[in-house]
Amino acid sequence: MYQIHKLSSGVRVIAESNPNVRSVSLGVWVGNGTRHEQLTQNGASHFIEHMLFKGTDRMDASELADAMDTLGGEINAFTTKECTCFYGRVLDEKLRQFADLLADMMFHSRFDEASVETERGVIYEEIGMCDDTPDDLAVERLTLGVFDGTPLGYPILGTRDSLRPMTGASLQGYMRAHYTGDAVVIAVSGHFTPDDLSYIEQVLGDFPAGPRPQSNAGAYHPAFSCVEKPTEQNHIVIGFPTFSYLSEQRYALQILNNILGGNVSSRLFQRVREQLGLCYAINSFLVTHADCGLMAIYIGTGADSEQKALTEIGKTLADVTHNGVSNDEIAKVRDSIRSGLLMALESTSARMNHMGKGLLLQHGVASPDEVAARYLAVTRDEVVDLARQVLNPAQLSLSAVTRKGSADAYAKQVTDSMAF
């Protein structure tokens, strides 16, 4: 079972020992992401994530990379709208070395101006890659649009204009203000000893004591966007507002998502792709935050097929809201989610991720069996009521990356098809 305790700095530690494996996964989770930034700071969280791999007082970037390679395993980091995580999976005999390396990165990174300038160029290229990937761009434009006016509407990477003024000193200042004890969770899963855990707490728990930085509120509003690019296919994303990842409705929402477009047996995939052959890729997915969320449907389709495909999407959504879903669909999806959850959490990396994210963002960690039980408790009536609440044509948003098109016209095609 999980061991959870709080250090004097405010850092929380969660650990789960498994003596039957040789690997151990360690993550430092920081409650700082894009939603904690001001407009002039946009991209700072992601920039800092990059800079912590660019050299410390003891090692330059090349030596740091060599040290990581020597450890073997997997070492990486990511930034989201809600948090930043630095993590790795190594052999148990390398755990203390990995903890030392992470501590060096956390507390002794250089932020020298030459490295800042180099990494700024790398992030500019990262922004360009997103702009050149039409499906990613369509999703990005949707999320930026529906959350516009709040930090949830800021791009994680920042923009060229927001990144340009940032210096090593300004990034270090941002890090000092946001990487405080109350904002940090250290998660460990796998094969380790009590002495190993004490060592990790000693070397990684030394964040400055202080309250967790306040996040800025997010809110959904309908938005429409169309970017014209010379693409082979038209990439269209349709969105509807949902709710916080803390809501008890999240289990029914995941089931609804899977029924609509979460897998290859879903209604949208079977109807639009398999039966009618109107696309290659179609799926639905969820974007969730602490105070709001989004259900989205993505399709990549040719210009000749797009009108019929959008009509069929609208009809499928209308069928769910008017006629509901079957008990067989609910049972199949519940079993699929339960199986996927339990199998995924057989790895130490997945279990560390589950623990760290849960404690940091959801204020507690349910066991895999408890999560599975919550999915099994969802009823047909809950899913149908939720579909009627979420799939409201008046709240529909749409983003498209096409050769030629109109977001308003695409949206009208869907909403007209949703009307019985």
Q: What is the mean pLDDT of the chain?
A: 95
pLDDT on residue 283: 98
pLDDT tens for 181-222 read 999 999 999 999 999 999 999 999 999 999 998 888 899 999
| Structure tokens that stand for 157 in this block | 């990477």
pLDDT on residue 216: 83
Please say whether the beta carbons of 48 and 84 come within 8 A. Answer: yes
Beta-bridge partner residues of 301: 234
Domain 3-204 listed as CATH 3.30.830.10: yes
CATH architecture, domain defined by 224-418: 2-Layer Sandwich (3.30)
Please say whether the beta carbons of 286 and 280 come within 8 A. Answer: no
Please say whether the beta carbons of 273 and 264 come within 8 A. Answer: no
Does residue 418 register a pLDDT over 90? no
Q: Considering the entire predicted model, what is its pTM?
A: 0.94
pLDDT on residue 300: 96
> 3-class secondary structure for the chain?
CCEEEECCCCCEEEEEECCCCCEEEEEEEECCCHHHCCHHHCCHHHHHHHHCCCEECCCEHHHHHHHHHHHCCEEEEEECCCCEEEEEEEEHHHHHHHHHHHHHHHHHECCCHHHHHHHHHHHHHHHHHHHCCHHHHHHHHHHHHHCCCCHHHCCCCCCHHHHCCCCHHHHHHHHHHHCCHHHEEEEEEECCCHHHHHHHHHHHCCCCCCCCCCCCCCCCCCCEEEEECCCCCEEEEEEEECCCCCCCCHHHHHHHHHHHHCCCCCHHHHHHHHHCCCCCEEEEEEEECCCCEEEEEEEEECCCCHHHHHHHHHHHHHHHHHHCCCHHHHHHHHHHHHHHHHHHCCCHHHHHHHHHHHHHHCCCCCCHHHHHHHHHCCCHHHHHHHHHHHCCHHHCEEEEEECCCCHHHHHHHHHHHHCC
**Domain boundaries of the chain, sorted by first residue:** 3-204, 224-418
pLDDT tens for 307-359 read 999 999 999 999 999 999 999 999 999 999 888 888 888 899 999 999 999 99
Q: Which amino acids are annotated catalytic?
A: 49
pLDDT on residue 83: 97
Residue 346 CA to residue 413 CA, distance in Å, equals 44
- Segment 42-67 shows an average pLDDT of 96
pLDDT tens for 137-164 read 999 999 999 999 999 999 999 999 999 9
pLDDT on residue 237: 97
Q: Among 83, 361, 36, 41, which residue's Cα sits nearest to residue 217? A: 36
pLDDT on residue 99: 98
Q: How far apart are the first and last CA of the chain?
A: 51
CB atoms within 10 A of CB 156: 20
pLDDT on residue 420: 54
Strand order, beta sheet including 281-288:
224-228, 397-402, 234-241, 293-301, 281-288
pLDDT tens for 366-401 read 988 899 899 999 999 999 999 999 999 999 999 999
